[in-house]
């Protein structure tokens, strides 16, 4: 491999299922080395991971990058949003982190919304109506179910903050990830003392919010990391904000990410405040906004249906009136935290391939329903939808998104857009450039554009009909207690 033209930077994506690290040539965007290591997430009622696993996965992924990581001049960490990390006085986790897809805090989300002025108050104050994913609801759940853990907590962090702090020794976060907590006011861009007081969280336990472009710190003396002491550390951000950087998107460009979570988002100059709760009014990592909707059931749910049917994930057959709402983990969009999967329209001649296609249709329907709300009037309705995340590699996902959206779909060739976005942020620290401009210079969004096909209105209407007719069942869930 030829020598790099510019300094090397490291971008990290610590997402739900794994940590991925890229070493990138800051001059050209060429990926010089990469590594990946998995995490485990608990199953059953909750979704938890031990933060120390993320650190181990980071060190493994960096080790796979070899000498190149050691030569990096700057590093940045993007990570799964919302997770509640509680640390003791020694920086050790008090308990495993409560993850974004843990719906046990749905009652707390409902209660907090009611107690503090309703959906309009929350949307206007924080940009979002809290769903069970939001950190504030997890803190409230912990206070109710494990008060001893709350009492033991000396620091409260998000997943990407936890790793950044282990690199620098300083508690920092950024506006993008802070905006997903539910205790950051999007109007003032500061922690919201009223909300924090309401949930009994001392602001002194929270990390400092580093401004876009500001250095978070430098790598401290470390024996188990292949970084040199003094390497610059950027503030990092949430994984969706990192991918928006990694694509270098401009306001109004629509993105759909198909991973553990499904997300649809864009960048906007206007601060979002959707009182219906469908659109989360996140901040992006630059100074703009990231209106976003997120589903809990995406690639894992569809892969699970394929496994149950004993089929390869690509073995779909055109649907025939069968509807599958793949809400295996409960759902956030639509807001049905107690729901489970629901099948309707099964006949003797329904094939396994049709059932599998119905699972893809159900997953994509939820995302597309929210996309219209995410995009504001400035968005170009004919602009290609950028399709990213692990699922974007799948032909069945691509076909389903095209058929149900009726839009052209662009699939970037670059695979790890979250890690690339983090790398662009690290490169921006070195050069003083806007990280989104760095990504555009690297041409990270380049990839084939698949032409628009006629929108399958019939399937969309059928799924919407089942959702509406089954509402009482989906709201109640399977718990009869
Ligand atoms: N070729 C492929 N076709 C369809 N799905 C894929 C393919 N490769 C990976 N995936 C899916 O991508 C998912 C992982 O996506 P990723 O964006 O890395 O997830 P996350 O960042 O949420 O951990 C897996 O659940 C897997 O189902
Ligand atoms: O909760 C959200 C966004 O609000 C999720 O998008 C998480 O940020 C997890 O991301 P992945 O692990 O699926 O990338």
Contact 397, 301 (CB under 8 A): no
Q: Is the CB of 238 under 6 A from ligand 1?
A: no
**Could you tell which of 12, 14, 16 is best to mutate to test the pocket of ligand 2, judged by most ligand atoms within 8 Å of the CB?**
16
**Could you tell which of 36, 79, 80, 280 is best to mutate to test the pocket of ligand 2, judged by most ligand atoms within 8 Å of the CB?**
80
Tokens encoding 428: 């921006």
Task: Tell the residue nearest (CA) to atom 4 of ligand 2.
Answer: 294
Alpha helices (runs of H) in 50-178, residue ranges in sequence order: 51-65, 67-70, 106-115, 118-126, 135-145, 147-152, 159-168, 175-178
Q: Is the CB of 259 under 6 A from ligand 1?
A: yes
Task: Tell the residue nearest (CA) to atom 23 of ligand 1.
Answer: 17
> Does the pLDDT value for residue 94 go beyond 80?
yes
What is the DSSP-derived secondary structure letter of residue 230? T
Note the ligand closest to the C-alpha atom of 79. 2
Residue percentage of the chain with pLDDT more than 70: 99
Q: How far apart are CA 84 and CA 88, in angstroms?
A: 13
Task: Tell the residue nearest (CA) to atom 10 of ligand 2.
Answer: 80
The pLDDT of residue 479 is 62
At 318, phi and psi to the nearest 5?
-55, 140
Q: Ligand 2: distance of its center to the CA of 85 in Å?
A: 16
Stretch (H or E) spanning 155: strand 155-157
> Does the pLDDT value for residue 378 go beyond 80?
no
Contact 197, 255 (CB under 8 A): no
Sequence-distant (6+) residues with CB within 8 A of 409 are 384, 385, 387, 398, 401, 402, 449, 450
Strand partners, 410: 386, 449
What is the per-residue pLDDT across 385-425, written as a single tens digit (0 to 9) for each? 999 999 999 999 999 999 999 999 999 999 999 999 999 99
**Could you tell which of 41, 236, 260, 291 is best to mutate to test the pocket of ligand 2, judged by most ligand atoms within 8 Å of the CB?**
260
CA-CA-CA-CA torsion sign (453, 454, 455, 457): negative
Token pair 């198909």 is at which residue? 258
Residue percentage of the chain with pLDDT more than 90: 93
**Could you tell which of 391, 392, 411 is best to mutate to test the pocket of ligand 1, judged by most ligand atoms within 8 Å of the CB?**
391
What is the per-residue pLDDT across 148-158, written as a single tens digit (0 to 9) for each? 999 999 999 99
Token pair 């009611």 is at which residue? 114
Note the ligand closest to the C-alpha atom of 301. 1
Helix (H, G, I), strand (E, B) or coil at 337: coil
Q: Ligand 2: distance of its center to the CA of 313 in Å?
A: 22
What is the per-residue pLDDT across 433-471, written as a single tens digit (0 to 9) for each? 999 999 999 999 999 999 999 999 999 999 999 999 999
The pLDDT of residue 224 is 74
Query: What residues flank ligand 2, with Cβ below 6 Å?
Result: 15-16, 80-82, 100, 133, 180, 238-240, 259-261, 263, 280, 294
ipTM (interface pTM): 0.98
What is the per-residue pLDDT across 469-479, written as a single tens digit (0 to 9) for each? 999 999 987 76
Q: At what angle do helices 135-145 and 106-115 cross, to 10 degrees?
A: 110
Q: How far apart are CA 315 and CA 362, in angstroms?
A: 16
The pLDDT of residue 288 is 97
Instruction: Give the closest residue to 225 by CA, choosing from 438, 461, 19.
Output: 19
* Angstrom distances, CA of residue 316 to CA of 19, 168, 298: 30, 48, 16
Mean pLDDT of the 365-393 span: 93
Q: Is the CB of 394 under 6 A from ligand 1?
A: yes
Q: Ligand 2: distance of its center to the CA of 384 in Å?
A: 22
Q: Ligand 1: distance of its center to the CA of 275 in Å?
A: 31
Tokens encoding 431: 């050069």
Q: What is the mean pLDDT of the chain?
A: 96
**Bond into 230 cis (ω within 30):** no
Strand partners, 35: 21
Q: Is the CB of 173 under 6 A from ligand 1?
A: no
Q: Is the CB of 390 under 6 A from ligand 1?
A: yes
The pLDDT of residue 225 is 79
> Does the pLDDT value for residue 64 go beyond 80?
yes
Confirm whether 88 is a catalytic residue. no
Helix (H, G, I), strand (E, B) or coil at 264: strand
Q: Is the CB of 17 under 6 A from ligand 1?
A: yes
Residue bearing the bigger pLDDT, 442 or 480 = 442
Residue from 25, 174, 177, 239 carrying the catalytic annotation = 239
Question: What is the number of other CB atoms lying within 10 angstroms of the CB of residue 315?
Answer: 15
At 212, phi and psi to the nearest 5?
-55, 135
* Angstrom distances, CA of residue 74 to CA of 69, 160, 369, 419, 442: 10, 16, 39, 13, 17
What is the per-residue pLDDT across 211-264, written as a single tens digit (0 to 9) for each? 999 999 999 987 677 788 889 999 999 999 999 999 999 999 999 999 999 999
| Region of residue 105 (phi > 0: left; psi between -120 and 50: alpha; otherwise: beta) | alpha
| Region of residue 423 (phi > 0: left; psi between -120 and 50: alpha; otherwise: beta) | alpha
What is the DSSP-derived secondary structure letter of residue 7? -
Q: How confident is the model at residue 2 (pLDDT cuts 50, 70, 90)?
A: low
Q: Is the CB of 389 under 6 A from ligand 1?
A: yes
Numbered residues of the known binding site: 81-82
At 293, phi and psi to the nearest 5?
-125, 145
Instruction: Give the closest residue to 79 by CA, choosing from 30, 126, 123, 135.
Output: 135
Q: Can you tell me which atom of ligand 2 is nearest the CA of 332?
A: 1
| Region of residue 142 (phi > 0: left; psi between -120 and 50: alpha; otherwise: beta) | alpha
Q: How confident is the model at residue 429 (pLDDT cuts 50, 70, 90)?
A: very high
> Does the pLDDT value for residue 481 go beyond 60?
no
Stretch (H or E) spanning 85: strand 85-87
Mean pLDDT of the 128-134 span: 97
In the chain the domains, ranked by start, together with CATH numbers, are 8-235 (3.30.420.40), 248-411+451-475 (3.30.420.40)
Q: How confident is the model at residue 480 (pLDDT cuts 50, 70, 90)?
A: very low
The pLDDT of residue 371 is 96
Token pair 């990946």 is at which residue? 36
Q: How far apart are CA 352 and CA 471, in angstroms?
A: 26
N-term to C-term CA, the chain: 62
Q: How confident is the model at residue 1 (pLDDT cuts 50, 70, 90)?
A: low
> Does the pLDDT value for residue 175 go beyond 50?
yes
Q: Can you tell me which atom of ligand 1 is nearest the CA of 17?
A: 23
Instruction: Give the closest residue to 367 by CA, choosing from 264, 290, 297, 462.
Output: 264
Give the lowest-confidence range in 14-18, 226-230, 308-312, 315-319: 226-230
């Amino acid at each position: 491999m030829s020598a790099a033209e510019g300094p090397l930077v490291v971008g990290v994506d610590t997402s739900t299922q794994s940590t991925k690290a890229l070493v990138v040539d800051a001059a050209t965007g060429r990926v010089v080395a990469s590594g990946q290591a998995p995490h485990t997430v608990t199953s059953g009622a909750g979704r938890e991971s031990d933060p120390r696993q993320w650190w181990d996965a980071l060190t493994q992924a960096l080790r796979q990058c070899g000498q190149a990581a050691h030569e990096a001049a700057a590093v940045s960490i993007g990570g799964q949003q919302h997770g509640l990390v509680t640390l003791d006085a020694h920086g050790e986790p008090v308990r495993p982190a409560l993850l974004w897809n843990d719906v046990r805090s749905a009652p707390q989300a409902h209660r907090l919304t009611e107690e503090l002025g309703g959906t309009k108050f929350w949307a206007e104050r924080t940009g979002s109506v809290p769903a069970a994913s939001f950190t504030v609801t997890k803190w409230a759940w912990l206070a109710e179910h494990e008060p001893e853990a709350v009492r033991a907590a000396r620091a409260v962090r998000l997943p990407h903050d936890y790793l950044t702090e282990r690199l620098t020794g300083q508690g920092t976060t950024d506006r993008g990830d802070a905006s997903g907590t539910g205790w950051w006011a999007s109007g003032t861009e500061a922690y919201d003392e009223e909300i924090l007081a309401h949930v009994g969280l001392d602001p002194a336990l929270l990390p400092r919010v580093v401004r876009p472009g500001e250095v978070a710190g430098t790598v401290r003396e470390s024996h188990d990391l292949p970084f040199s002491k003094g390497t610059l550390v950027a503030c990092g951000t949430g994984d969706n904000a990192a991918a928006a950087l990694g694509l270098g998107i401009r306001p109004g460009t629509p993105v759909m990410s198909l991973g553990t979570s499904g997300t649809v988002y864009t960048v906007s100059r206007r601060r979002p405040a959707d009182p219906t709760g469908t659109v989360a009014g996140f901040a992006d990592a630059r100074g703009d906004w990231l209106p976003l909707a997120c589903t809990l059931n995406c690639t894992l749910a569809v892969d699970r249906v394929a496994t149950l049917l004993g089929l390869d994930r690509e073995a779909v057959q055109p649907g025939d009136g069968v509807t599958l709402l793949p809400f295996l983990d409960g759902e956030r969009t639509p807001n049905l935290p107690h729901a489970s999967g629901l099948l309707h329209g099964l006949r003797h001649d329904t094939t396994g391939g049709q059932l599998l296609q119905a699972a893809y249709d159900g997953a994509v329907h939820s995302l597309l329903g929210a996309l219209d709300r995410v995009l504001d009037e400035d968005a170009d309705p004919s602009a290609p939808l950028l399709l990213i995340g692990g699922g974007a590699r799948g032909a069945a996902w691509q076909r389903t998104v095209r058929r149900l959206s009726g839009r052209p779909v662009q699939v970037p060739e670059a695979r790890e857009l979250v890690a690339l976005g983090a790398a662009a942020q690290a490169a921006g620290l070195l050069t003083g450039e806007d990280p989104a401009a760095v990504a555009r210079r690297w041409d990270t969004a380049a990839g084939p554009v698949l032409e628009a096909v006629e929108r399958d209105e019939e399937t969309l209407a059928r799924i919407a009909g089942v959702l509406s007719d089954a509402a009482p069942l989906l709201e109640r869930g399977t718990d009869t207690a």
